[in-house]
Homo-oligomer: A and B are copies of this chain.
Amino acid sequence: MTTAGHSQRATISDVAKHAGVSIATVSRVINQTAPVASETAERVYNAVAELDYTPHAAARGLASNKTNTLGLLLPMIGGSYFSPMLRGIEKAVSQNGMALLIYSMQTDVHQSARLNLPLGGHNSDGLLVFTNSLSDADLQRMYKRNFPLVLLHQTPPANLNIPSVTVENKAGSRKLVEHLIEVHGCRRIGFLAGPEEHEDSKWRQMGYLEALTAHNIPFNPELVANGGFNENDARSAVEQWLLKGMELDAIFAGDDDAATGVITALKRAGKRIPQDIAVVGFDDLPLSRHLSPPLTTVRAPIEQVGQEAANQLIRLIRTGQATSLVILPTELIIRQSCGCGSSSS
């Protein structure tokens, strides 16, 4: 066991006293907010070093009404998806000398903790909101207050003009499915949707539909199931299909996490990929190229989404302006799980 307890640290007045100046001067040299004689500044710097002084963030925040911090709201941290997104966000955040405060909206924190954990903002200068982590009502509330907000993978609810950053889902999905149809002659292509209300999923499904329509393949609702954008749900969904004796020549798993579940289920059932059934995903996670067979998918620039969103938010905070909608392009990544021959990148 070990013990600890706070001890008092140097404040700005300690530094001022030590350097023989006023606290205003100390503040000025630290923030470089007004010219200070270089000799004076020197004394202040020395005092800072000697006392090992660090400004008190809360005091600063209270006085200046800025926290220099971005908040990130996540539905819950999980899946392979967040790692690259976080990296992108972190990049933008630290390049701008800000900090990152993360909340994941667990189960039911909403109600109870509202007062004690002011997610409402106020400990950040703005919020990055990932799909499904905030109700429309909450969104509206914050928007009305003029609190800087940027949405990730979600467009704002009706008539709220909140900037939003996402990827080109529909076109990517369509290209992917058309590849299956045109190159591999697939006709019975299963689609695993993501969670309800997940916009990415809706767009991907539309792309899937468009591809079918463009090739005169009638839409069969039985070929759509819920894969939840995760491994387990996808696995059970495929198991259900298999149990029902559903005939399929390809499965578009919705995303790559789901695709790993699909592959597992198929292999367990003794199906060969891609000979018996082709499998494709969406996102191009780092792991996807290592699956067996390597996964054909659509590359979503996840890290860039994070970075772009953070940058937009910072711009919104600083200048009051941001681009309403940023859609980052996706790219078809052909590997072998669709039936194509040799590998690439």
Contacts and interface: CB of A to CB of B under 8 A. Distances in A.
Interface of A: 1-7, 9, 30-31, 48, 52, 54-62, 65, 67-69, 76-80, 82-83, 86-87, 90-91, 94-95, 97-104, 106, 109, 113-118, 120-123, 141, 145-149, 161-163, 231, 260, 263-264, 286-287, 290-292, 316, 320-324
A55 B260 contact: no
Contacts of A7: 145-146
A3 B97 contact: no
Given A263-B290, A287-B80, A163 B100 contact: no
A4 B3 CA distance: 46
A5 B236 CA distance: 48
- List of 8 A-B pairs having minimum Cβ-Cβ separation, nearest first: A292-B292, A58-B61, A57-B123, A54-B120, A287-B287, A54-B118, A58-B62, A83-B83
A291 B118 CA distance: 43
B290 A121 contact: no
A4 B317 CA distance: 8
B80 A80 contact: yes
Copies of this chain assembled into the complex: 2
5 contacts: A2-B322, A54-B114, A57-B61, A90-B102, A99-B103
A296 B3 CA distance: 40
Contacts of A54: 114-115, 118, 120-122
Most B-side CB within 10 Å, residue of A6, A59, A91: A6
B55 A62 contact: no
Contact of A291 (B30, B104, B290): B290
A99 B117 contact: yes
A121 to B, nearest CB: 7
A103 B121 CA distance: 19
B291 A69 contact: no
B100 A94 contact: no
Given A115-B55, A118-B54, A320 B4 contact: yes
A161 B2 CA distance: 6
Nearest to A121: B54
Contacts of A69: 101, 123
B2 A163 contact: yes
B57 A77 contact: no
Contacts of A97: 113, 116-117
A212 to B, nearest CB: 29
A343 B174 CA distance: 36
Nearest to A67: B58
Nearest to A120: B54
B77 A80 contact: no
Given A4-B320, A286-B80, A123 B146 contact: no
Contact of A48 (B86, B115, B116): B115
Nearest to A292: B292
Contacts of A60: 58
Given A97-B117, A99-B101, A120-B54, A82 B83 contact: yes
